[in-house]
Amino acid sequence: ILKGKTALITGSTSGIGLGIAGKLAEAGANVMLNGFGDVDAAIAQVSAYGTRVLHHAADVSDADQIADLVSRTERDLGSVDVLVNNAGIQHVAPVESFPVERWDSVIAINLSSAFHTIRLTLPGMRERNWGRIINVASVHGLVASAQKAAYVAAKHGLVGLTKTVALETATTGVTCNALCPGWVLTPLVQQQIDSKAQAHGDPSRATRELLMEKQPSLDFVTPEQLGELAVFLCSDAARQVRGVAWNVDGGWLAQ
């Protein structure tokens, strides 16, 4: 369903972004990857579907680098039809000792980057009267957990941005929605499991405790499941799905 279209996915060299990139490529989209780490492996994985796959190393905490990411995508792949704002980081600390520079970078990467990509890609989407903006928020866009002040604030902000953009595009062929995953086993969550395991020395117990605390299914969401949902949001059937914050969370928010 995405043949001839281009998807730009921030933070797509790992985890959820990589899973979504793979599913969008499988659906026919050309893909601009972004992020750090094992770039070659990510390109190889997403290229398996036979569409064009490029990578741009923009640090999305920097508005100028985001502008370059968007213009390079438009220049080299023709347009940005599907925008997935996925790049995100976490920092866990009590609010009164939360490092100020970590606050600033969580807000910049998890929230402000989406403002910049949206303001830069929306004019082209409006011109073509088709576009899909998918913001990867979190259950923490809808409820809080202790010690995650910056993350929770950024993700609630991202859900607010999603609703505003959905209203501003409501009469057009552009939709804007948020995905709100519960626990997904990615490097970002593995770090949190590792620090719990350090406390009592047992990784499998740390994993079980992490799930039991919040996620009734006692099972992780997968990047591929989120990718399938992103493909659905790109479909014609989803054209009146606008401004939702769609939780995929093993029952987290049902409690």
Q: Which residues are catalytic?
A: 151
Helix H segments across the chain? 15-26, 39-47, 63-77, 100-107, 113-128, 149-168, 187-200, 203-214, 223-234
Shortest CB 172 distance to ligand NAD, Å: 26
Quick check: 89 and 110 in contact, CB under 8 A? yes
Q: How far apart are the first and last CA of the chain?
A: 36
Could you tell me which stretch among 55-63, 121-129, 206-214, 237-245 binds ligand NAD (CB under 6 A)?
55-63
Shortest CB 203 distance to ligand NAD, Å: 16
86 to 115, contacts with ligand NAD by CB under 6 A?
Answer: 86-89, 109-110
32: β partners: 8, 54
Could you tell me which stretch among 33-41, 44-52, 74-82, 227-235 binds ligand NAD (CB under 6 A)?
33-41
> CA-to-CA distance for 197 and 225, rounded, in angstroms?
27
167 to 186, contacts with ligand NAD by CB under 6 A?
Answer: 181, 183-184, 186
Nearer residue to ligand NAD within complex by CB, 77 or 150: 150
> CA-to-CA distance for 238 and 254, rounded, in angstroms?
24
Question: Which of 188, 238, 241, 253 forms a contact with ligand NAD (CB under 6 A)?
Answer: 188
Whether the CA torsion 36, 39, 42, 46 is positive or negative: it is positive
Quick check: 53 and 33 in contact, CB under 8 A? yes
Nearest to 35 by CA among 64, 69, 81, 2: 69
> Using CB under 6 A as the criterion, what x/- string covers residues 117-156 for binding ligand NAD?
-------------------x-x------------------
Question: Which of 8, 17, 80, 81 forms a contact with ligand NAD (CB under 6 A)?
Answer: 17
Could you tell me which stretch among 4-12, 96-104, 163-171, 236-244 binds ligand NAD (CB under 6 A)?
4-12
Shortest CB 245 distance to ligand NAD, Å: 12
63 binds ligand NAD (CB under 6 A): no
State the DSSP H helix or E strand holding residue 8, giving kind and residue range, or none if neither: strand 6-9
Quick check: 16 and 184 in contact, CB under 8 A? yes
Q: Is 85 exposed, middle or buried (0-12, 13-18, 19+ CB in 10 A)?
A: buried
Question: Which of 5, 9, 15, 156 forms a contact with ligand NAD (CB under 6 A)?
Answer: 15
> CA-to-CA distance for 221 and 127, rounded, in angstroms?
36
Tokens of 65: 């680098």
Nearer residue to ligand NAD within complex by CB, 11 or 22: 11
Question: Which of 43, 59, 107, 203 forms a contact with ligand NAD (CB under 6 A)?
Answer: 59
Question: Which of 61, 79, 177, 207 forms a contact with ligand NAD (CB under 6 A)?
Answer: 61
Task: Please report, as ranges, the residues that interact with ligand NAD according to CB under 6 A.
Answer: 10-17, 34-37, 59-61, 86-89, 109-110, 136, 138, 181, 183-184, 186-189
